[in-house]
Chain A
């Protein structure tokens, strides 16, 4: 196998999705959150790559995978700057920035251990808001507590 061919294999997928512009610090978090570490699909990723826009970025390419709305919400929570590029037959068929949803349901755990959703296993629901510094916050629909990005834990 020649070097050239290996390089080609890493850089291009025939069908699937590329998640680009992930903040470099969160590349592994995105992989884990989408359970890509346990997937049987062909996955290529790089992190700490140079980016004009972000300084350092991560990129993930997943063969044969197209994301559902719920998974895109998840990506937006940990990588709000990410771009999703869908590839069909080596061509870009769709390219869009992820967008934070207004509400996040059933995918994130409330960080408050006394919250009813943690004690009685009730589906969670959060409103996406911002604090006065513009940081993303999730406000629990039930216990009304607000948590920041560092407390986000996926169910």
Chain B
């Protein structure tokens, strides 16, 4: 039985390198054999205090493939939250009806708080701008699957590195495996110094760029993210840079053979559709991997794997 049994997952840093590898191995098992009726008789609560259809469906699909039942809500509009119930009261109530709670909530830090008041384990499906650890795990799974290893890869992260929580968590997690980081962003959306300090403290290297084309020949993984106009203090600056971080198929010509393009989705226009047919495009498979990861997490935390 794993020591992860009964333990909430709030932040990727809650997991050690061994914990991460264990989840990835279990996810691999589910990829090979997805339908396993091990959750028969279990009730999983899925509490989405803000809508996120993609993440919610991925979790619910994971529960269904395991044969479990789901209760919950898809947005705060239809729940008692709207009537002003505190998070603590909602969690304490729902924990009476379920074995595990999957929660997405717009308040930063809400998942940590929920995990402290809840008698059943919590899986954080995104707490505001803070953490989204299952996204991070499925990214790691996708990297390991396409590169056959997580050790010492060259990863280029492109786009909004200042506010993008997925890239921050991914840097933290990959630091455990000795990656080399290439950060590509406009000046105003550079990686925060706290994340760069993390890399330095891990004894690793990072390089910063403003041109996407600079990193294409060196990357094993090209991790694309959205740049949102509202992040820019000056709309003129946004107009200047908005087309500089768009990946087109022709740009991939001199990329490495093993290189793969990842994106947390949904995309807006940062990857043109002609990339989709290139075998180096991996973002849809990446989303599919999310179901295996969530199956592995739920099964492990409930002590069934």
* Chain A residues within CB distance 8 Å of chain B: 110, 112, 114-117, 119-120, 122, 131-132, 140-146
B87, B128, B130, B194: the one within 8 Å of A146 (CB):
B194
Please name all residues of chain B whose beta carbon is closer than 8 Å to the beta carbon of A131 when the two chains form the complex: 193-194, 197
Question: Which stretch in B109-117, B237-245, B287-295 binds the other chain?
Answer: B109-117
Please name all residues of chain B whose beta carbon is closer than 8 Å to the beta carbon of A114 when the two chains form the complex: 106-108, 128-129
The distance from the CB of B59 to the nearest CB of chain A, in whole angstroms, is: 21
How many Å lie between the Cα of A116 and that of B108 in the bound state? 6
Provide the main secondary structure of the chain B interface: mixed
Whether A142 contacts B109 by the Cβ 8 Å rule is yes
The distance from the CB of A114 to the nearest CB of chain B, in whole angstroms, is: 5
CB within 8 Å for A119 and B130 given contacts A131-B197, A132-B197: no
How many Å lie between the Cα of A120 and that of B197 in the bound state? 31
Contact with A along B209-252 (1 / 0, CB 8 A): 00000000000000000000000000000000000000000000
Q: Is B118 an interface residue (CB 8 A)?
A: no
Whether B130 contacts A143 by the Cβ 8 Å rule is yes
Q: Would you list the 4 A-B pairs with minimal beta carbon distance, nearest first?
A: A142-B109, A143-B108, A143-B109, A116-B109
How many Å lie between the Cα of A116 and that of B90 in the bound state? 14
Please name all residues of chain A whose beta carbon is closer than 8 Å to the beta carbon of B131 when the two chains form the complex: 144
* Chain B residues within CB distance 8 Å of chain A: 11, 86-88, 106-110, 112-113, 127-131, 193-194, 197, 200
- Nearest chain A residue, comparing its CB with the CB of B114: A116
Please name all residues of chain A whose beta carbon is closer than 8 Å to the beta carbon of B129 when the two chains form the complex: 114
Whether B113 contacts A122 by the Cβ 8 Å rule is yes
Please name all residues of chain B whose beta carbon is closer than 8 Å to the beta carbon of A110 when the two chains form the complex: 109
CB within 8 Å for A142 and B197 given contacts A120-B86, A120-B87: no
Q: List 30 A-B contacts (CB under 8 A).
A: A110-B109, A114-B107, A114-B128, A116-B87, A116-B108, A116-B109, A116-B110, A116-B112, A116-B127, A117-B109, A117-B113, A120-B86, A120-B87, A120-B88, A120-B113, A131-B194, A141-B109, A141-B112, A142-B108, A142-B109, A142-B112, A142-B113, A143-B109, A143-B128, A143-B130, A144-B108, A144-B109, A144-B130, A144-B131, A146-B194
Please name all residues of chain B whose beta carbon is closer than 8 Å to the beta carbon of A146 when the two chains form the complex: 194
How many Å lie between the Cα of A67 and that of B197 in the bound state? 37
Whether A145 contacts B108 by the Cβ 8 Å rule is yes
Please name all residues of chain B whose beta carbon is closer than 8 Å to the beta carbon of A144 when the two chains form the complex: 11, 108-109, 130-131
How many Å lie between the Cα of A146 and that of B88 in the bound state? 24
How many Å lie between the Cα of A141 and that of B88 in the bound state? 17
The distance from the CB of B40 to the nearest CB of chain A, in whole angstroms, is: 35
